[in-house]
């Protein structure tokens, strides 16, 4: 029996991880290549950021999510996976087999730590939330430790950001952090302790980068990164 086409699933369910909806990032070809080997295995997956966001942070706090396009795609593609979806908005009314919702503020270190403690080892984490560098790097630091050996932590949409970034602690763009790590094996995240940085540096086995259509080596061309766990 042929495997489902992940890009077609993305387009059908209405997520822009495919090549036809909204920003049409075309991430699904990358994901199909990386995940096919264990597609039929039982495992836990986490996705952070469940629906198209908005520019008003206050509106996000009171929004009630009505759809989860990418979760539907993952549930179809991974027939035995349990998927935890996280968002700052309330998606608690959405009920699907093998799906559970956890409300999460990515700017709250304690909330990220509680989430990490509550989960079993995770095969895949996809972070597609605010696109603010501080949120991206804080969540990576707190959640990468629960990724299983051989699993992946993915940060999407490194080429853009949210206006909320201006209100958050200062840090380098995540694309710049990734670029330096590929050259030096050093993680430069200023708000982490030396031990936290070293733990990240020594637990990353490989780094996979998805570039934009222009190609090249300019760091602003970087759209997505996947970190494979040792």
159 is catalytic: no
Tokens 């934009």 -> residue: 212
Catalytic residue among 131, 135, 159, 162: 131
Sheet architecture: strand order including 99-103: 99-103, 82-87, 44-48, 122-127, 147-155, 222-229, 204-211
3-class DSSP state for residue 77?
A: helix
Instruction: Report the alpha-carbon distance of residue 35 to residue 38 in Å, rounded.
Output: 6
Give the three-class secondary structure for 96. Answer: coil
| Number of neighbouring beta carbons within 10 Å of residue 34 | 15
Q: How many Å apart are CA 212 and CA 40, to the nearest integer?
A: 30
Task: List, by residue number, the catalytic residues.
Answer: 131
């Amino acid at each position: 029996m042929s495997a489902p086409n992940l890009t077609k699933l993305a387009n059908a369910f209405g997520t822009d991880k495919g090549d036809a909806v909204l920003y049409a990032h075309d991430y699904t070809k990358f994901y199909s290549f990386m995940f096919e080997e264990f597609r039929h295995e039982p495992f836990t997956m986490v996705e952070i950021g469940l629906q198209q966001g908005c520019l008003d942070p206050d509106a996000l706090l009171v929004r009630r999510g009505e759809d989860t396009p990418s979760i539907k795609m993952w549930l179809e593609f991974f027939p035995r996976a349990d998927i935890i979806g996280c968002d700052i908005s309330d998606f608690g009314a959405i009920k699907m087999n093998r799906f559970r919702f956890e409300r999460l503020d990515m700017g709250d270190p304690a909330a990220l730590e509680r989430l990490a403690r509550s989960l079993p080892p995770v095969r895949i984490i996809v972070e597609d939330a605010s696109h603010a560098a501080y949120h991206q790097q804080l969540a990576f630091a707190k959640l990468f430790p629960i990724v299983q050996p051989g699993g992946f932590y993915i940060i999407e949409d490194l080429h853009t950001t949210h206006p909320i970034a201006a209100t958050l602690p200062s840090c380098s763009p995540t694309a710049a952090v990734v670029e330096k790590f590929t050259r030096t094996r050093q993680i430069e995240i200023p708000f982490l302790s030396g031990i936290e940085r070293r733990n990240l540096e020594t637990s990353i086995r490989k780094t996979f980068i998805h570039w934009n259509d222009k190609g090249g080596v300019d760091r602003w061309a970087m759209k997505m990164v996947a970190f494979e766990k040792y």
